[in-house]
Amino acid sequence: MQSGEFRSRLTTAIELAAWTTAAVIGVITLTQALGWAITPLVVVAQSLTPYLGVVVVVVALVALWTRRLLLVTIAAAIGFGIVVLGAPLAFPGEQPDPIDGAVGLEVASMNLLFSNDRIGDVAEQMDQLTADVIVFTEYTAQHQEVLLASPAAERYPHRTDRAGPRGEGVAIWSTLPVEVAEYPDTDSTSIDVTVSGPDGAIRVIAVHFPTPLDDFASWSHDLRAAAEIGRSASGPTLLIGDLNASYWHPDFRRVLDAGFVAAHTAAGAGFSTSWPTTWPIPPFVRLDHALSAGGLLATDVEDFDVAGSDHLGMIVTVAPTRPATP
């Protein structure tokens, strides 16, 4: 084969790969724009949207190199769509101010990982936290036994435990008195309490939704239930935990549209990630969220490593906001 023929075939193969890549990313972006979460695999692909945006740039460069202006136009349109979808992360809009003299309630969230054998180290981490409330997910009976035997149990005397097998257990530990409500209408394990905070009563809902790959129907149902909590919030409300959903999932954005504000967005963190921490690459998607509604806003949020877990933990400070002025 002569070099000219080889070069021609190589160029054709590169063009075909670029067109195929643009088509796949275009379809994924279209499902975002239309608000579709059709299958678990589509949902997984949607979570990779910001990285697909980088691939689109490569496609556009290839199109320029091969002088395929139509492909350049299509890649540019797809890239623009991804930028529009992600704009609220960078430009969240004006947030209300906390009430005068607000102290704030600090709430931590820790996905323990059901197979974690370093819960003793987690207990030591708890001694370093300043949180008033800690939410645990993937909370097993073995985790419960170790934590209850640690000094942390004395510091957090107000406990609501729903230990479960594998990743099903959830718990809320608090330094402040709590009142336990009926469990929310979720298929997965969740806890609903009202915490007597320094700025008044705050409803804290701990959740751990299933992954869409494990149970797509329950995942969709639980996100709809979360949206309903946001719509019906009549007072300061914080929904926190592992939602197994990212901003790039249309069903999650419907939760935000229902009245919730993500803590990382409100605090100006922009694009952030929380999973996985045990892979040889940095975390690439945020599955763990703190969402506020009903006149409650996050004023600060910080992520931290959780010993033995594959998720980052977070500690968020929330405070009631001033009523909107007409």
Q: What is the pLDDT of residue 133?
A: 98
> Could you give the angle at the alpha carbon of 44 between the alpha carbons of 169 and 168, nearest 5°?
5
Mean pLDDT, 10 residues at a time, the chain of 326 residues: 73 91 96 90 95 96 92 96 93 87 96 97 96 98 98 97 95 97 91 97 98 96 97 97 97 96 91 96 98 96 98 98 70
142 half-sphere exposure, CB direction, 13 A CA radius: 13
Beta bridge partners of 292: 238, 261
Placement of tokens 């914080």 in the chain:
238
**244, 287 in Cβ contact below 8 A?**
yes
Give the Cα separation of 205 and 293 in Å (integer).
Answer: 12
Say how many residues make up the chain: 326
For the chain, give the longest Cα–Cα distance.
Answer: 80
Q: What is the pLDDT of residue 95?
A: 85
**56, 22 in Cβ contact below 8 A?**
yes
Q: What is the pLDDT of residue 37?
A: 87
Tokens of 29: 């972006």
Going by C-alpha positions, the residue among 321, 298, 323, 322 that lies closest to residue 109 is 298
From residue 315, alpha-carbon distances to 60, 72, 82 in Å are: 40, 43, 29
Helix (DSSP H) and strand (DSSP E) numbers for the chain: 10, 12
**216, 85 in Cβ contact below 8 A?**
no
C-alpha gyration radius of the chain: 22
Alpha helices in 258-298 (DSSP H): 263-266
- Which helix (H) or strand (E) segment holds residue 208: the answer is strand 200-208
| CA 23 to mean position of chain CA atoms | 28
- Which helix (H) or strand (E) segment holds residue 133: the answer is strand 133-137
Q: What is the pLDDT of residue 324?
A: 61
- 3-state SS, residue 6: helix
Tokens of 130: 């300043």
Q: What is the pLDDT of residue 325?
A: 55
Where do the structural domains in the chain lie, given as residue ranges?
A: 3-90, 105-320
Q: Are strands 288-293 and 296-305 parallel, antiparallel or unpaired?
A: unpaired
pTM, 2 dp: 0.95
Beta bridge partners of 317: 106, 300
Q: What is the pLDDT of residue 326?
A: 52
Tokens of 240: 């926190």
Reported as a single tens digit per residue, the pLDDT across 268-295 is 888 899 999 999 999 999 999 999 999 9
Residues contacting 45, CB < 8 A, separation 6+: 28, 52
Give, in words, the CATH class of 105-320.
alpha beta
59 half-sphere exposure, CB direction, 13 A CA radius: 27
Q: What is the pLDDT of residue 29?
A: 95
Tokens of 88: 């609220």
> Could you give the angle at the alpha carbon of 182 between the alpha carbons of 181 and 185, nearest 5°?
130
Report the interhelical angle of 250-257 vs 216-232 (nearest 10°): 10
